[in-house]
Amino acid sequence: MSLLLNEIGNGIFLGAFFGLVALGYSMVYGILRLINFAHGDFYMVAAFVSFTILGAVGVGHSHNQWWTVVWVGVVVMVITGGLAMLANQLIYRPMRRAAILSLMIAAIGLSQVLENGVLVTPRWGATYLVFPVTTPPSGFSLGSNHYTWGQLVIVLVSGLLALGVYFLVGRTLLGKAMRAVSEDRIAATLMGINVDLVIAIVFFIGGALAGAAAVMTGVYYGQINYLMGFTVGLEAFTAAVLGGIGNIGGAVLGGLILGIVQSIGTGIFGAEWALVVAFGALVLMLWFRPTGLLGERVARRM
């Protein structure tokens, strides 16, 4: 029993990352019906950018190093948001009248460009890079499990960011405009909504969330690699579909469920089974509930 609780605890932690990346997937899908396969690579690039910035400013071992991580995190969020927005502006926007399948192929192409771009960049490349700062092992016990303060902070920060997005989309005028664009682009234009700007903002937010997840991954796991976006991208995509793609709450819920399922699954079968468990869960979900947990609206929209 307490073993199960431990796995759930670990799963929530893991799910926080999935959820943050899944939000970007889901928001872009919601507004463009595009599965942006490059999204995981925005996360990967963000990890490398934060590695370089942290290296350049130097974090040392002072007490202030966590403030450095925070402001670097914010800067990386802005940079990654900008990168996602740029990708939209240069690639997806000119293709707005093309079939969505063409956009998806372009997304796969962009993913390759980003991965190989990082691969050939001096000082980045193919090897694992070790982050200049990692979260300390100190923490607290819950049941028989030990959690670090770092894990707690990561879960809290992820939760706050997700809540922020939830509030933005649900309550603000901009969020209503996003939902309007998602449902009917022409009608939204007729309300005086600058549709292209709203889409750009959605890309920015999705990218920024991936950026936050990347910085936290770096400081928690301590190492990054140019292929890290591929796996996380798949897992986040799975999470988004589990929860009902296009749905904000669904992305977070899907992330948490995937995290927990994967935790329990790897607890039983071993770590190498992580992706098998994830996709197994996805297949089961699609079998019994093709729209995902909270996804009925999307099914209707399509």
Partner 1 sequence: MKALELSGVSVYYGAVRGAEDVTLDVDEGEIVALLGANGAGKSTLLKAISGIIHPRRGSIAFFGDDLGKLSAHRRVSRGLVHVPEGRRIFTTLTIGENLELGAYGTQHSRTERAQRLEEVLGLFPLLKQHFQRLAGTLSGGEQQVLAIGRAMMSNPRVLMIDEPSLGLDPQKVDIVYDMLEEVSALGTTVLLVEQNVSLALEIASRAYVLQQGSVVLSGPSASLVGDPRLADAYLGKAGGAKD
Q: Residues in the site for partner 1, rule: CB under 8 A?
A: 173, 176-177, 179-180, 183-184, 186-195, 297, 300-301
Cα separation of 245 and 296, whole Å?
Answer: 10
The amino acid present at 161, given as its one-letter code, is L
Query: Closer to partner 1 at the Cβ: 136 or 192?
Result: 192
Torsions phi, psi of 133, nearest 5?
Answer: -145, 135
- 120-128 own/partner pairs: CB under 8 Å, 24+ apart: 121/48, 123/52, 124/48, 124/52, 124/226, 125/226, 126/225, 126/226, 127/225, 128/223, 128/224, 128/225
For the chain, the first-to-last Cα distance in angstroms comes to: 42
Nearest distance from residue 176's CB to partner 1, in Å? 5
Nearest distance from residue 103's CB to partner 1, in Å? 22
Cα separation of 136 and 139, whole Å?
Answer: 8
Asked if residues 204 and 23 have their Cβ atoms less than 8 Å apart, the reply is no
Cα separation of 297 and 22, whole Å?
Answer: 18
Closest CA relative to residue 169, chosen from 6, 8, 23, 17: 23
Query: Closer to partner 1 at the Cβ: 156 or 187?
Result: 187
The amino acid present at 246, given as its one-letter code, is G
Quickly tell me which residue has 């403030």 as its tokens: 67
Query: Closer to partner 1 at the Cβ: 82 or 175?
Result: 175
Nearest distance from residue 11's CB to partner 1, in Å? 31
Query: Closer to partner 1 at the Cβ: 187 or 276?
Result: 187
Closest CA relative to residue 36, chosen from 205, 178, 237, 214: 237
Query: Closer to partner 1 at the Cβ: 2 or 184?
Result: 184
Query: Closer to partner 1 at the Cβ: 21 or 169?
Result: 169
Query: Closer to partner 1 at the Cβ: 40 or 292?
Result: 292
Nearest distance from residue 266's CB to partner 1, in Å? 37
Nearest distance from residue 296's CB to partner 1, in Å? 11
Query: Closer to partner 1 at the Cβ: 28 or 77?
Result: 28
Nearest distance from residue 221's CB to partner 1, in Å? 39
Nearest distance from residue 88's CB to partner 1, in Å? 18
Q: Name the token pair of 216.
A: 């936290």
Nearest distance from residue 182's CB to partner 1, in Å? 8
In 3-state terms, what secondary structure has residue 293? coil
Cα separation of 263 and 283, whole Å?
Answer: 18
Quickly tell me which residue has 């664009």 as its tokens: 181
